Amino acid sequence: MPALISPSILSADFANLERDLQRIAGADLVHVDVMDNHFVPNLTLGLPVVQRIAEVSPVPVDVHLMIDDADRWAPEYARAGAASVTFHAEATQAPVRLARELREMGVRAGLALRPASPVEPFLDLLTELDMILVMTVEPGFGGQSFIEGMLPKIARTRAAIDAAGTGTWLQVDGGISRATIARVAQAGADVFVAGSAVYGADDIAAEIAALRDLATL
């Protein structure tokens, strides 16, 4: 699969979201971080904003839920127009039931893991998942530095996906930049979230293209 770039609007100008969505029209997806100030110590945006983003975005919406009670709320984000909804393993009681519910609604179902959460308990569930998100920073804030220790976890996840033959996407999120993306791609990731690297660039379109080039093996 070619590398997919999913800029995170957490680093966009929240007073100019539509403009900043247009600026990433050359990306593959737009990553929307939903935080509830419980699962993570930060608060961002919720359903009405995601719904409007989905209406005006030039690219499909990749929702990353950093909220408690994902079983209750994830389907609402599917209804709001997301193309994919990723919930945290640590915030769901029943990941398979939730993933099936999302798929039945026609969206891609993603499972996210905090840095300290092992992937192994979930590797038998790959057939139920369209995406696994290996967090490469502690969720909650943009602009943190990449956790190098996540590279073996990414490689183990890649090996399991290839062995299972499920085609599950392997997303990484946190500290992805020109300095880190090639190593992360080599470890096996294929969907790359980048917030500060993209929105902090002088030429956003060129930055997206450069990241994609570096991630293409």
Q: Which residues are catalytic?
A: 33, 173
Q: Is 175 annotated as a binding residue?
A: yes
d(CA 88, CA 86): 7
**What helix, strand, coil percent values describe the chain, rounded to 5?**
40, 20, 40
Side-chain half-sphere CA neighbours of 28 within 13 A = 16
Query: Taking CB under 6 A as the rule, which mask of x and - marks residues 53-72 in contact with ligand DX5?
Result: -----------x--------
Residue 51 contacts ligand DX5 per CB under 6 A: no
Residue 88 contacts ligand DX5 per CB under 6 A: no
Residue 140 contacts ligand DX5 per CB under 6 A: yes
Query: How many residues appear in the chain?
Result: 217
Residue 110 contacts ligand DX5 per CB under 6 A: no
Q: Is 6 annotated as a binding residue?
A: no
**Cβ(64)–Cβ(78) under 8 Å?**
no
**Cβ(198)–Cβ(12) under 8 Å?**
no
Tokens 């009670």, residue located: 69
Residue 28 contacts ligand DX5 per CB under 6 A: no
Q: Of 54 and 176, which CB lies nearer to ligand DX5 in the complex structure?
A: 176
- Smallest separation (angstroms) from ligand DX5 to the CB of 102: 19
Residue 31 contacts ligand DX5 per CB under 6 A: yes
d(CA 62, CA 57): 11
Per the annotation, binding residues for substrate are 8, 64, 140-143, 173-175, 195-196
Interface with ligand DX5 (CB under 6 A): 8, 10-11, 31, 33, 64, 137, 139-144, 173-176, 193-197
